[in-house]
Amino acid sequence: MSMCSMEQGTKTTPAVEVWKDIEGYEGLYQVSNLGLVRSLERIEENLRKGKPYNRLHRGRTLKPIKHITGYYLVTLNKGGEHHSMRLHRLVAQAFVPNPDNLPEVNHKDENKANNRADNLEWCDGSYNTNYGTGKYRKTSKRMRKVEQLTADGQHIAYFDAVRIASRATGCSVGHIQESIKKGWLTHGYRWRYVEP
């Protein structure tokens, strides 16, 4: 049984790793309260040239893969079918009570790599979206700073977003976006995104 330390204020308390079978994959895979998944050692029956034989499948800790969304996935195999599962959901399903049958899992510290059970909570979509800095991060992805230029490329002004530039100059959002995308003049101006 492995040990891991967990900070609580200024004290360090050892956390005991607990393993549970993954629902639907009993005897094949287990998940731990510290956010790990392992396959279990087992004998598998296979066919080779039409004849049955037994093969030893050694157990191992699976290496999660980071998805483009930032969540970590593990691939589980049962009966020759592979299924990618979100690691935080597997941990929550095994270790975090969900008496209200809520549909989503939130990372309390907003770190998608921290899949420990004590960092997860069940919630609804609205709570998950608005949790912590979620709303700010979503808005800041949509808001990109833009620069207004003269026809020959001289700086005129900066704006925090295309919509703000549209209100200030009277140029439509669509025209500004087309100018950025295709380099066209819009109402005598050129526009471009300002890289952070």
pLDDT in tens, 79-106: 889 999 999 999 999 999 999 999 999 9
The CATH label, of 1.10.3720.10, 1.10.10.10, 1.10.8.60, 3.20.20.140, for the domain at 143-193 is 1.10.10.10
Helices (H), the chain: 87-95, 125-130, 134-142, 162-169, 173-182
The whole-number pLDDT of residue 47 equals 72
Which residue type sits at 163?
A: R
Per the confidence metrics, is the pTM higher than 0.85?
Answer: no
Which residue stretches of the chain have pLDDT < 70?
1-14, 133-142, 196
Alpha-carbon span 110 to 138, nearest angstrom: 13
Alpha-carbon span 170 to 52, nearest angstrom: 76
The whole-number pLDDT of residue 18 equals 97
* Delimiting residues of CATH 1.10.10.10 domain(s) in the chain: 143-193
The whole-number pLDDT of residue 108 equals 93
The whole-number pLDDT of residue 183 equals 86
The whole-number pLDDT of residue 137 equals 56
* Delimiting residues of CATH 3.90.75.20 domain(s) in the chain: 3-138
The CATH label, of 3.90.75.20, 3.30.460.80, 1.10.8.60, 3.40.50.2000, for the domain at 3-138 is 3.90.75.20
